[in-house]
Amino acid sequence: MSRIADVFKPGYKALIAYITAGYPGQKATIDIAQTLADGGCDIIELGIPFSDPLADGATIQKASYEALKQGVTPDTCLEMASEIRKNIATPLVFMTYYNPVLNYGLNTFCKKCVKAGIDGLIVPDLPPEEGLELETITRKNGLDLIYLLAPTSTDNRINIVASSSRGFIYLVSLTGVTGARDTLSPDLARFVERVREKTNLPLCVGFGISKAEHARQAASLADGVIIGSRLIQLIEEDATLASLKQFIYDIREELDMRKTPGGID
Amino acid sequence: MQSRPDNSGYFGKYGGKFVPETLMPALSELERAYSEAIVDPKFQNEFNLLCTDYIGRPTPLYYAAQLTAKAGGATILLKREDLAHTGAHKINNALGQGLLAKRMGKKRIIAETGAGQHGVAVATVCAMLGLECIIYMGEEDIHRQASNVNRMELTGAKVIPVTSGSRTLKDAINEAIRDWVSNVQNTHYLLGSVVGPHPYPMIVRDFQSIIGQEARQQVQAIYGRLPDYLVACVGGGSNSIGLFHPFYDDKKVKFIGVEAGGKGLKSGKHSATLATGKVGVLHGTKSYLMEDEHGQIEETHSIAPGLDYPGVGPEHSFYKDSGRATYVTVSDEQALEGFKMLCDTEGIIPALESAHAIYYAAKMAKDLVKDRLIIVNLSGRGDKDLDIVTKALGMRK
């Protein structure tokens, strides 16, 4: 069992947080990761910024652009990961596009990931059809390669992803790019159900989740929720990280269902 | 038709489908619809009829006597894609994919454009077929190619300025892909070059192959033989593949692709992807691309907006490695010289993109004997470039 798989237990709802590594700064990233871990996040996704993030909406595009402008590279991301790993035991996952990984060299990159304490990879522009090589190498190195499914995925594709994804399956909640939304897709329940019928892997829902209410709804359907763009917005709005801390606290509370409808603990 | 790409969409080791999961079913749907359409006589007839009556095909293969004389060597023939409706080869693919979208029941069309030639072609076809049309165009290009923006808007398209990154073609493609990811159920992405994920490089090549098919027939009818050289500019590479592909098995016909050398390869301000790039993945395809040491895509430069792109079609990468085609570069300055030369000698104003090919063809013709035949793809006309050219020539005085 990988450190990621260990997160998922019957009845427990996992909280997965995405941040762009190096945004707003490298030192800040270490502090943010610590805040997320202390607040009860179960997995932290560190985004390695890419110049052309075509699956991302405006918030993550901007964060990636800022991080790149400050000279963040895959190597500095590995350094940040090592630094974070010194103080926290939370599983760490790199999320990035395929080109920076390919450019680094798949073997070298995976070896360095392991050394830095990374547990898995998410590469949104690498579907299983193109992922065989990276799949083999990550497996050899004990890293989980986490694939995505979308509401448009056919039953055949759900089977392909279910048989290739490791750790969990990342369910894209909506037909679109990343970014905070006002409401969850009304089709989410049916989508999660379609995937659930075909696999026992943990299912985590991401894209568009930006409120405690969304998290509660999504968690009632799946095994975990992934929040990204909203966290970046909070980091941008409040550099003291107090708002981020409060937000994570509220989400955690929703997921653990500690809160009663009247708001009394 | 050749068996490339293979079933996974690869030309040798280049190509593939590197896209978010959301789009994978749409690519399969497109591939299926396309393979059904090309064997359907009804689809073929409609496409052929509109090629004749709407686009004005076949375009002439013109013996450029004055340019030939000026160059002082081999005989130069121009494949006059500039005379196609909307003034460039882009209409061939726009028409083909427009008909395909209609057949698939997709009523909303999105497209990217650099120089605006593809955008104009798509807007035109959408007007004719009654489809909604949204064009993504980099802000920098909107300024550089204002007349094409007017043409798109006149034919009913909505032009959305793209302000991210270098604000050119690359960023317009990113934005178009994001739109497609968000609206994939009712939208067809009408990609304009032989780039992007499979099946696009194949579909665009096939629709553009009409250029080479006609040229092959025309040169044989007039000269009773095949040409010695084919010369075409390469940005993403659609006009060049369109000319080259039908000659693929004619091993004696040499292919020369001309990339944008910009301000010189040493300056770093160029778009010579095949000459200087490395293999990577951009916009859904594995091919040569221009990236920095960390795998970030580099900003490119060319005086010709249609060549200003850090990637190139996977089939070109395959041609390069196998040696089937040779790729050379022509600088901004030289392209301007080619532009002037064609205006002066033939009274034809070429697109700045095509002017790269003109310059190189004239240069190489000088060292060849008269009975050598060079076909240059005059891929577009240059009305759109008058602002850039007058400014550039003015500055040089």
Both structure tokens of A231: 């966290």
Task: Test A98 with B18 for CB contact under 8 angstroms.
Answer: yes
Q: How many CB pairs under 8 A join A and B?
A: 116
Chain position carrying tokens 């160029």: B270
Contact B115, B381 (CB under 8 A): no
Q: What is the dihedral of CA B236, B313, B177, A175, to 10 degrees?
A: 170
What tens digit of pLDDT does each residue of B284-321 get?
999 999 999 999 999 999 999 999 999 999 999 999 99
- The span from the CA of A200 to the CA of A203, in Å, is 8
Average pLDDT over residues B179-202: 97
- pTM for this one? 0.96
Q: How much is the pLDDT for B170? A: 92
Domain that holds residue A36: 5-256
What's the confidence (pLDDT) of residue A258?
53
Nearest CB neighbour to A127, from listed B19, B185, B282: B19
Marked catalytic residue, from B31, B79, B81, B90 = B90
Asked whether the beta carbons of B124 and B154 are under 8 A apart, the reply is no
Would you call A162 helix, strand, or coil by DSSP? helix
| Interface contact B108, partner A, CB < 8 A | no
Predicted pLDDT at A259: 45
Residues 6+ apart with CB under 8 A from B101: B109, B131, B188, B190
Q: Which of A99, A127, A147 sits opposite B295 (nearest CB)?
A: A99
B14 contact residues in A (CB cutoff 8 A): none
- SS3 of residue A213 by DSSP: helix
In this structure, are residues A181 and A204 in contact, taking their beta carbons and an 8 Å threshold? no
Active site residue A56: yes
CATH code at position A215: 3.20.20.70
Q: From the candidates A31, A42, A52, A56, which is the catalytic residue? A: A56
Alpha-carbon gap: B161 to the closest alpha carbon of chain A (Å): 15
- Determine whether the interchain pair B20/A55 forms a contact, defined as Cβ–Cβ distance below 8 Å: yes
User: Count of alpha carbons within 13 Å of B212, Cβ hemisphere only?
Assistant: 25
Number of domains present in the structure of chain A: 1
The answer to the question of residue A25 being in a domain is yes
| pLDDT for the residue numbered A260 | 44
Half-sphere exposure of A252 (CA within 13 A, CB side): 15
Output the pLDDT for position B244: 98
Taking 70 as the threshold, does the pLDDT of residue B396 lie above it?
no
What is the structure's pLDDT at B166? 80
Picking from A50, A152, A174 by the largest number of B CB atoms within 10 A of its own CB, the best residue to mutate is A152
Describe the crossing of helices A74-87 and A106-115 by its angle, rounded to 10 degrees: 20
- Residue to substitute from B8, B13, B14, B18, interface A, most A β-carbons within 10 A: B18
Contact B295 A74 (CB under 8 A): yes
| Residues of chain B found within 8 Å of residue A97, distances taken between Cβ atoms | 281
- The C-alpha atoms of residue A214 and residue A228 are separated, in whole angstroms, by 13
Which ipTM did the prediction report? 0.95
The answer to whether residue B1 scores a pLDDT higher than 50 is: no
What is residue B395's predicted lDDT score, i.e. its pLDDT? 63
Annotation marks residue A144 as catalytic:
no
**Rounded to a whole number, what is the distance in angstroms from the first to the last CA of chain B?**
50
Intra-chain end-to-end CA distance of chain A, in Å:
35
Residue B344's alpha-carbon distances to B19, B231, B304, B339, B347, in angstroms, are 46, 20, 20, 9, 6
Quote the CA–CA distance of B109 and B94 in Å, as a whole number.
11
Q: Is the peptide bond before A91 cis (omega within 30 degrees of 0)?
A: no
Domain contains A263? no
Please tell me the predicted confidence (pLDDT) of residue A128: 98
Give the Å distances, CA to CA, from B270 to A70, B232, B360, B391: 24, 17, 17, 19
All residues of chain A having their beta carbon less than 8 Å from the beta carbon of residue B8 are 129
**For chain A, the helix, strand and coil percentages under 3-state DSSP, each to the nearest 5:** 45, 15, 40
pLDDT in tens, B280-293: 999 999 999 999 99
Domain assignment of residue A262, yes or no: no
Is the CA virtual torsion A19, A256, A12, A164 positive or negative? negative
Compute the distance between CA of residue A177 and CA of residue A124 in angstroms, rounded to an integer. 11
Per residue in B383-393, pLDDT (tens digit) is: 999 999 999 98
Q: Are A23 and A232 in contact (CB under 8 A)?
A: yes
Return the biggest CA–CA distance within chain A: 54
Please indicate, yes or no, if residue A264 is contained in any of the structural domains: no
What token pair was written down for B60? 């002439």
Which helix (H) or strand (E) segment holds residue B378: the answer is strand B373-378
Q: Is residue A265 part of a domain?
A: no
Show residues of chain B in contact with A172, CB under 8 Å: 20-22
* pLDDT per residue as tens digits for the range B38-50: 999 999 999 999 9
The amino acid at residue A253 is E
- Residues with pLDDT less than 70, chain A: 1, 258-265
Please, what is the average pLDDT of chain B? 96
CA-closest candidate to residue B114, choices B156, B170, B166, B153: B170
Residue A62 maps to a domain: yes
Task: With beta carbons less than 8 A apart as the criterion, state whether B153 and B184 touch.
Answer: no
Q: What pLDDT is recorded for position A263?
A: 39
Closest CB to B184 among A101, A125, A175: A175
pLDDT of residue A262: 41
Measured on CA atoms in the order A168, A172, A178, A181, is the torsion positive or negative? negative
Q: What pLDDT score was predicted for residue B394?
A: 85
**Is the residue at A261 inside a domain?**
no
CB contact under 8 A, A124 and B185: no
Contacts 24+ apart (CB under 8 A), B217-226: B218/B58, B218/B60, B218/B61, B219/B61, B219/B77, B219/B373, B219/B375, B222/B61, B222/B63, B223/B373, B225/B373, B226/B250, B226/B252, B226/B253, B226/B373
